[in-house]
Structure 1
Amino acid sequence: MPTLMDRRGNYDSGDDFVLEYGELRFTFNERDFSERCEQAGLKLGFVGGRLDDHELEDLVNLAVNGEIQDPASALGEHVNDCWPELCGPAERSLVHWLRRLVFRSAWLDQRVKEGELDVVLDPAELRFSYVQPDRGGAPIELAPEPSWGRVAYSRARS
């Protein structure tokens, strides 16, 4: 009998970056991965708006390598200056959460593509949510993410 994992596909937008979790292997092109990193940074409150190319390069390097050895921007310098506040235990680090949100966004997109989830607009909240159509359309609850607002990167501070 096929399991749920057997029928689920892996997310694939290219072969520049790879994230694996258990039996899932998600591959990304550079633009897709970069956009997902930027969105994760916004969701975590670590960045407050769109990043320029050099800032985004540093954020991607942080997500991929777990550190920024040669900063390309003030964002990279900020990460290195605030490192003790950003690293912490594995499940509390900024790197962990960047990776987790990139993976989660691709996982959700793949579930939509496969028809397991739908995306709906909540007009009262003016935000989108995911629903399982086979379970009455109630929104699924996503694990809340922590905020790095207290050590957020800001061009004004840099």
Structure 2
Amino acid sequence: MGDTARRGNYESGSDYVLEYGELRFTFNERDFVERVEQAAIKLGFVDGPLGAAEREDLVELAVNGEVSAPRSELGEHINERWDEICGQPDHSLVHWLRRLVFRGAWLDQRVLEGELDVVFDERTLTFAYAQPDRGGALVELAPEPSWRSVAYRR
């Protein structure tokens, strides 16, 4: 019973909380900010590391679903292209940022609990997740959409 209650509840701090069903993931500020920035890079919305004000705007978008008072050109870009970026709730950039942050934490938790191993995939020259109880079969992650058409360019 103890494993069931613990399973899936990733925790690195208490600054940010993401909940999905019965799963509750809590993050310290640095962990959350880094995960949001990496999600934006993976989605093609930004092309690399951001400045402090840009990260603040991106995190505000992920947390609040909007950038109320932009602190950077990134925040202004989000508001100027709002309909293209966040028009449909389940297909918006906000949705995908949250989803990738959640997915990454979920995978990390599975690694910590020994359910997944991190392996180097020679075929794609990337790291992947393998299931030790299934002969090392790689986990196939659902593809994410690209936001390159509305990407923020410095």
Question: TM-score, normalised on structure 1?
Answer: 0.93
The letter for the 1-side match of 2:142 is A
CA RMSD between the two structures? 1.4
Give the distance between the partners of 2:142 and 2:40, measured in 1 at CA.
16
Q: Does 1:113 align with 2:88?
A: no
**1:29-68 paired onto structure 2 within 5 Å:** 29-68=28-67
**1:14-33 paired onto structure 2 within 5 Å:** 14-33=13-32
Q: Does 1:136 align with 2:131?
A: no
The letter for the 2-side match of 1:129 is A
Aligned to 1:81: 80
- For 1:128, what is the secondary structure of its paired residue? strand
Q: Which runs of 5+ in 1 are unaligned?
A: none
Contact 2:129 2:139 in 1 (8 A): yes
Give the distance between the partners of 2:4 and 2:87, measured in 1 at CA.
32
Equivalent pairs, count? 154
Give the distance between the partners of 1:88 and 1:135, measured in 2 at CA.
40
Deviation, 1:123, is 2.4
Give the distance between the partners of 1:26 and 1:94, measured in 2 at CA.
20
Deviation, 1:138, is 1.1
Deviation, 1:125, is 1.8
Deviation, 1:3, is 10
Structure 1 stretches (4+) deviating beyond 3 angstroms? 2-7
Give the distance between the partners of 2:56 and 2:113, measured in 1 at CA.
31
Percent sequence identity over aligned pairs = 69
Question: TM-score, normalised on structure 2?
Answer: 0.96
Q: Which runs of 5+ in 2 are unaligned?
A: none
